[in-house]
């Protein structure tokens, strides 16, 4: 039996992503390019690989652009339903929109998380067998700062999850939640009881998960994530592209209909489709969006270039993440 057919896929892609400015002016984060493909395409590919046939994508900011670029899901052999979240007050708030549309366990991805996993089927089998009511994708994270940007998972003596802490001030463990979850239908009871937080004025999914634990239900953590990064700041976009280049053993990725410097003059960079650049320049540690035309005659080094913007990145800010490649 294909376990994925027993689940619905859910991707939350409604946020504006203001910290990704200026890219957030025109695109939602789930459409930003990783090796010339939208981040969202990688997530849909993973769900299709698991055998999931029906996916709900929650959209909001520039949702029409997500619909235009992603379409009906036929590219991945799945059926996509779009739900518009008119107001965004956190992950639990988004889930509340979906209760009437979900009648079985589901796999939930946050639409701004890029990841590579060993075996995500291990997030499905405990739900189908009834051994767990919720499974959290996790990774041991030695960097305390990255732990503080996500949520912490604390295990109890029996190995199940005892506590989850959103954006912790104090780091008590190295087990980090990665923005991928699987739930059975009990989560909606918890969502309805989830309070709005004072700190972030949102309905946090970690509070909903903690309610599951308090109700005596079983929450497990699966350490199956090899690499993950929440696409939050402009430098994250360069790092993700370079990580994927390194994973594939490539030094560059150049799209179709390209005119510009020879490949030997393009180092650790990704260039989109329909790009025209001066032949004389060199390109290093940069991401060039599709449709960029003749931006100037200077070399490009640690920049992200869109058709109407050039964003210079500080290599000092990139070093901590680049060290993980």
Note the pLDDT of residue 11: 97
Note the pLDDT of residue 272: 96
pLDDT tens for the chain, 325 residues long, are: 466 668 999 999 987 777 777 777 778 889 999 999 999 999 999 999 999 999 999 998 788 899 999 999 999 999 999 998 877 778 888 898 899 999 999 999 999 999 999 999 999 999 999 999 999 999 998 888 888 888 899 999 999 999 999 888 888 888 999 999 999 999 999 999 988 775 666 788 999 999 999 999 999 999 999 989 988 888 999 999 999 999 999 999 999 999 999 999 999 999 999 999 999 999 999 999 999 987 778 899 999 999 888 888 876 666 555 555 4
Note the pLDDT of residue 144: 81
Cα-based angle 258, 254, 281 (whole degrees, multiple of 5): 70
Note the pLDDT of residue 154: 93
Peptide bond preceding 240: is omega within 30 degrees of 0, i.e. cis?
no
97 touches 58 (CB < 8 A): yes
Q: Which residue's entry shows tokens 């909001």?
A: 60
Task: Judge if pTM exceeds 0.75.
Answer: yes
Count helices and strands (H / E) in the chain: 9, 21
Q: Are strands 134-140 and 219-223 parallel, antiparallel or unpaired?
A: parallel
CA distances from 101 to 98, 182, 275 (A): 5, 16, 42
Give me the residue spans of the domains in the chain: 3-230, 234-322
d(CA 143, CA 155): 19
Note the pLDDT of residue 245: 95
Note the pLDDT of residue 1: 45
Running DSSP on this structure, what letter comes out for residue 250?
Answer: -
Which CATH number is correct for 3-230, 3.90.550.10, 3.40.50.2020, 1.10.3720.10, 3.90.79.10? 3.90.550.10
Nearest CA among 118, 116, 121, 20 for reference residue 324: 116
DSSP string, 103-119: -S-EEEEETTEEEEES-
Q: Which residue's entry shows tokens 């592209």?
A: 241
Running DSSP on this structure, what letter comes out for residue 160?
Answer: S
d(CA 276, CA 279): 9
61 touches 16 (CB < 8 A): yes
């Amino acid at each position: 039996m294909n376990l994925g057919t027993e689940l619905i896929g859910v991707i939350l892609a409604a946020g504006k992503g203001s910290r990704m400015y200026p890219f957030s002016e025109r695109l939602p984060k789930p459409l930003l390019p990783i090796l010339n493909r939208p981040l969202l395409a990688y997530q849909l590919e993973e769900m299709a690989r698991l055998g999931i046939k029906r996916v709900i994508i929650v959209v909001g900011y520039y949702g029409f652009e997500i619909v235009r670029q992603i379409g009906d899901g036929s590219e991945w052999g799945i059926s996509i339903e779009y739900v518009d979240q008119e107001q965004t007050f956190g992950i639990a708030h988004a889930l509340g929109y979906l209760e009437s549309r979900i009648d079985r366990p589901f796999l939930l991805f946050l639409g701004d998380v890029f990841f590579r996993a060993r075996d995500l089927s291990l997030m499905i089998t405990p739900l189908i067998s009834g051994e767990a009511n919720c499974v959290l994708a996790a990774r041991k994270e030695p960097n305390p700062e990255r732990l503080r940007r996500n949520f912490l998972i604390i295990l109890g003596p029996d190995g199940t999850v005892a506590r989850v802490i959103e954006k912790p001030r104090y780091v008590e463990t190295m087990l980090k939640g990665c923005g991928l979850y699987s739930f059975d239908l009990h989560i909606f009871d918890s969502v309805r009881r989830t309070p709005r937080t004072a700190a972030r004025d949102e309905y946090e999914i970690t509070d909903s998960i903690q309610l599951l634990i308090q109700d005596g239900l079983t929450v497990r953590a699966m350490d199956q994530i090899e690499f993950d990064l929440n696409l939050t700041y402009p430098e994250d976009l360069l790092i993700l592209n370079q990580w994927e280049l390194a994973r594939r053993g490539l030094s560059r990725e150049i799209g179709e209909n390209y005119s510009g410097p020879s490949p030997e003059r393009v180092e650790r960079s990704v260039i989109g489709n329909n790009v025209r650049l001066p032949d004389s320049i060199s390109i290093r540690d940069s991401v060039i969006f599709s449709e960029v035309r003749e931006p100037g005659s200077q070399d490009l080094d640690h920049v992200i270039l869109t058709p109407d913007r050039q964003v210079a990145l500080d290599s000092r800010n990139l070093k901590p993440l680049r060290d993980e490649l």
